Amino acid sequence: MCGICGIVALGRPAETDTVGRIAAELDHRGPDGDGSYSAEGVALGFRRLAIIDLSDAGMQPFTSTDGALRLVHNGEVYNYRELRRELEAKGRRFHSATDTEVILAAYEEWGDRCVERFNGMWAFALWDGRRRRLFCSRDRFGVKPFYYRFDAGRFVFASEPRAFRGDPETRLEPNPRAIRDYLDQAYLDHTEETFFAGIRKLPPAHSLAVDENGLRVSRYWSLEEHEPPGGDAAEALRELFLDSIRLRLRSDVPAGTALSGGLDSSAIAVTVDHLLHTEKENAVAVGPRQRTFTAYFEVPGFDERPYAEAVVGRTTAEPHWITFGPEELAGDLPSIVEALGEPFGSTSICAGWYVMREARRAGVTVMLDGQGGDEVLAGYRAHLGFRLADLLAAGRIRELGEELRSFHGVHSASALVTAMSRPFAPEALTRLVRSRARGAGALVHPDLRGLAPVPAANGSPFPDRLRRHQQLILTRRGLPELLRYEDRNSMAHSIEARVPFLDYRLVELCFSLPGGELIGGGRTKDVLRRALGDLIPPIVRERRDKLGFVTPERTWLRGKLGELAGDVFSSRSFAERGFVDARAARRRLERHRRGEVEAGMELWRALNVELWARTCLDT
């Protein structure tokens, strides 16, 4: 929706000019207008992407009637209409049709706990002039970003870390531990630290307050164990999924759908089409026909068009097909690296950038995407191992045997053994195996090898291994980085991405279900397949492999992308940076290009971290 930023330094003059420079770094997030507020000790900045109430009444910072409260907000509170009616019944009056004004009124009515009533994605900062206090909050799963730096009583925040370039008191420097974890383990966004030293993320489901007593961060929501719903789980899931999409189609600008051909994005596309024909009043933003956007590659094993075409054929969608090759990628990489802001896992992330670019060219401003489906519904192959381990630990041998027979022919015996070993492996062993299996440890510069890993939070309320692993990848090891990519790729092209699978009601439902509802009969996400079985084409519904938006990077690194990597690995800056062992990287690249090893992933990380440093640190 927007870009937000600000500085609070009580007892100092307002840093209006600095906030203006920070906000200018966020222009791409908000091409539809800008706003600011400043008073002694506080300055707020805003860049607008108009989504709901396109009039000037939607401009921020939003101000309370008495002028005491000022709010900058990025995201959408989807249930704002219901909250507005509740607040109006309490005597509140509104002067716009925005969700932002509802946030302001909710804070006045319920204080800090107002966020517990929100269903949506948000990152906001609210200056309370009565209490001389800044109150900030981030949505339950971190769909919207919030970065900050707090030093010597001075609090600076922004929607993206690169925006801190506008602050003369912040020097963007690398965080060696984050770089080490990335190169050696492929870990990203797994803690509150970032790749920039001293710049942190407000964790999902947390609020933050800054006043004369300092800074305090507190949790307002957590994923707890719930009783499963009575009745049929598939029916309960269907009802919530349809309502999640209804809410996420609330928009005054055109909406489209990212369609990979996988189960999750297909579920969204067919549900949007269903609403378009049965509840048109709830799908006005879609227009007369849903527009879908699919990336594909004419490389065996990477082309998902048959699945996406089946979805398009089942619906009335207008498809848009996007492809790109290593030559185009090499030319666009500097722009993509700058847009992502921090290193990313593979070139597959670039596919999202091209999809969003095409969507913007087609006039779409809101995009629905399937992020979160695998994490919430246990869709990864690793989940199989945790489910089987639970059956084994519970002594349910007959069910274990049935599941093993069901998966026979889909996964190899070695894959099953690997999957089942993970639930029993300690963290230290897992890290060692990840490093050795990827061959990445040899590429890490000797100066970084001895660094301790970035500490991560532990603990889970769930007794079974499957849900503990689901929670881990939902909150620490997977989804956080995917949501960063989603936000940066979309906002680079001034598009707001929405993720229906992360409606908190849907997440709580899925985490209340027995493991057999999620994984059963040889299928992951079984409850989703049953819930939307009448809408999803059989070729997609019965599919057991998965790709998503993937790219053939290991092949590309033997061609044009490999030439770029060779130039980078031979450069003086790469050798002097101190992140990667330059000689080891060159040798690894040569062997990969000759076909002696498969080293695409670790070579990409070595290349990416240098391109990131050039783009985000050296400029």
353 phi-psi bin (left φ>0, alpha ψ -120 to 50, beta other): alpha
Mean local confidence (pLDDT), 544-569: 82
Asked if residue 291 has pLDDT above 80, the reply is yes
**Per-residue confidence (pLDDT) for residue 430, from 0 to 100:** 60
The confidence band for 551, taking pLDDT boundaries of 50, 70 and 90, is: low
Given a cut of 70, is residue 556 above it in pLDDT? yes
Above pLDDT 70, what percent of the chain? Answer: 94
- DSSP type of residue 400: H
CA distance 150 to 214: 9
Name which CATH class applies to 233-376+476-541: alpha beta
CB 12 within 8 A of CB 152: no
pLDDT at 136: 99
Task: Please provide the distance, in angstroms rounded to a whole number, between the alpha carbons at the two ends of the chain.
Answer: 27
* pLDDT for position 497: 98
Digit-coded pLDDT (tens) for 393-414: 999 999 988 888 887 766 667 7
DSSP state of 613: I
The span from the CA of 318 to the CA of 292, in Å, is 6
How much is the mean pLDDT over the chain? 93
User: Under 8 Å CB-to-CB from 137, ≥6 apart: which residues?
Assistant: 115, 122, 123, 124, 202, 206, 207, 208, 220
Task: Name the residue among 321, 323, 245, 179 with its Cα closest to residue 501.
Answer: 245
* pLDDT over 80 (residue 192): yes
Instruction: Kindly tell me if the per-residue pLDDT of 418 is higher than 80.
Output: no
**pLDDT band with cut points at 50, 70 and 90 for residue 426:** low
Task: State pLDDT tens for residues 266-281.
Answer: 999 999 999 999 999 9
Mind listing the pLDDT tens digit for each residue in 117-155? 999 999 999 999 999 999 999 999 999 999 999 999 999
**Which residues, 6+ apart, have CB-to-CB distance to 588 below 8 Å?**
439, 442, 443, 597, 599, 602, 603
Q: Please report, to the nearest 10 degrees, the dihedral formed by the alpha carbons of residues 162, 166, 170, 173 taken in order.
A: 40
Torsion of CA 91, 92, 95, 97, to 10 degrees: -110
Q: Which residues are CB-neighbours of 82 under 8 A, at least 6 positions away?
A: none
Of the given ranges (64-68, 102-106, 295-299, 470-474), which has the lowest mean pLDDT?
A: 295-299
State mean pLDDT over 41-70. 96
| Residue from 549, 498, 495 nearest 359 by CA | 495
Nearest CA-CA partner of 356 in 306, 294, 312: 294
Cis before 61? omega within 30: yes
Q: How far apart are CA 473 and CA 523, in angstroms?
A: 19
User: Which range is least confidently modeled, 350-359, 431-440, 505-514, 594-603?
Assistant: 431-440
Helix (DSSP H) and strand (DSSP E) numbers for the chain:
26, 17
Position 50 scores a pLDDT of: 97
CA dist 520 and 399 (Å) reads 10
Read off the pTM. Answer: 0.94
The two tokens of residue 156 are 């600076």
Q: Can you tell me the mean pLDDT for 591-598?
A: 94
Q: Which residue has the higher pLDDT, 551 or 230?
A: 230
Q: What is the mean pLDDT of the segment spanning 77-88?
A: 98
Task: Please tell me which residue, 180 or 457, carries the higher pLDDT value.
Answer: 180
200, two tokens: 């942190």
For residue 616, what is the DSSP state?
I
Report the sign of the C-alpha dihedral through residues 90, 92, 94, 99, in that order.
Answer: negative
Query: Of 474 and 521, which is predicted with more confidence?
Result: 474
> If pLDDT is split at 50, 70 and 90, which confidence band does 428 have?
low
CATH of range 2-219; options 3.30.1020.10, 1.10.10.10, 3.40.50.300, 3.60.20.10: 3.60.20.10
List the chain domain ranges: 2-219, 233-376+476-541, 381-474, 553-617
pLDDT number for residue 432: 56
Q: Between β-strands 147-151 and 200-201, what pairing exists: parallel, antiparallel or unpaired? A: antiparallel
The SS3 call for residue 209 is: strand
Of the listed ranges 22-31, 99-108, 321-330, 490-499, the least confidently predicted one is 321-330
